[in-house]
Amino acid sequence: MRIFELTNKECAEALTRLRLGRLACSRNEQPYIVPIYFAFHERQLYSFATHGQKIDWMRINPRVCIEADEIVNRDEWTSVIVHGRYEELPDTLEWKLERELTHDLLQQEAMWWEPACASNIHPGAADEFIPIYYRIHIDRMTGRRAMPDSIDAARLVSPQDVPERKSLLKRLLHR
């Protein structure tokens, strides 16, 4: 397997395809990470939530990190990390166009609202369900892609290779 660094353009292309990621935020030196659906548009990530811990924490500390990946198998994957800043899009006339854009981008994915609403599905939830649209301004993004080595991909594993590999692993574990 070979691992390659992604360019900014390749990171952006991956984020355009990906929709599910993990958002990390922190408060008082305590990290917190949650899954989110997002949409990438013009070097920003758009998302949606209901009021809860991550919104409270991002309001206090807008510095966030998002990780998203695409896994084909253990030797073929892409991973992108975004460092950015949270910005809430309030439900006001001034922010109407940004909120509509966010909604339009997110609804391209079926069930885009589900992670944000899952914790609020209980009696009386309608009172607590206030949609919060937000975006992450991307300051920096990095990524890596793993691809099978052409020799490894073309090589057939013979039965006599298996015991050798097991004994090598056994030796490494018993050090």
Token digits of residue 37: 């659906």
pLDDT of res. 69: 97
pLDDT digits (tens, 9 = 90+) for 99-111: 899 889 988 865 5
pTM recorded for the entire structure: 0.76
What digits encode the pLDDT tens for the residues 117-169? 444 444 555 545 678 999 999 999 999 999 998 755 555 444 554 455 555 55
Backbone torsion region of residue 157, taken as left when φ is above 0, otherwise alpha when ψ lies between -120 and 50, otherwise beta: beta
The number of domains in the chain is 1
CATH number for the domain harbouring residue 66: 2.30.110.10
Whether 57 shows a pLDDT value over 60: the answer reads: yes
